Amino acid sequence: MQEFMPMATEFAKNHTILVIAWVAVFLMLVYHLVKAATSKIKVVGNAQATSLINNEDAVVIDLRTIDEFKRGHIVNSLQFVPSDIKNHNVGKLEQHKNVPVILVCVNGLSAQSSAELLAKQGFSRVYALQEGIAGWRAANLPLVK
């Protein structure tokens, strides 16, 4: 151990940018893990989403535009735009505060931020579909027009 510390400090002096990069990556990983552990929402895959829809009458909220929604959406899903959720404009969704709500977007990225907002608005079981409609379509799961 006595030999390690001088070698480590010498390495850090000679490779400062590399050490800073590794520390930054480590801190981002810790931040991501803490955020995921404390989040009120869960990211679900297609199988778990299908189970929630079939077994627990989950409500599916499609966050894509009207045109995208008309080209194909999950059966019985409701269309909202993210600004509706941000502005607390979720009138017909209020009655579903205690049932699972699955948010779906194009690729699974923007649904998570809208899901966080719904959780803050009092929805108890909020989920985001992992790969969005793109993943749903890639798995050959049914869409209706």
* Sequence letter at residue 27: L
Instruction: Choose, from 41, 49, 58, 105, the residue flagged as catalytic.
Output: 105
Bridge partners, 42 (sequence order): 127
Q: Which residues contact 141 (CB under 8 A, 6 or more apart)?
A: 46, 50, 74
Task: Take residue 26 and report the two structure tokens written for it.
Answer: 């480590």
The arrangement of strands across the sheet holding 78-79 comes to 41-44, 126-129, 101-104, 59-62, 78-79
Are 112 and 50 in contact, with CB atoms under 8 Å apart? no
Active site residue 68: no
SS3 state at 19: helix
Q: Which residues are the active-site residues?
A: 105
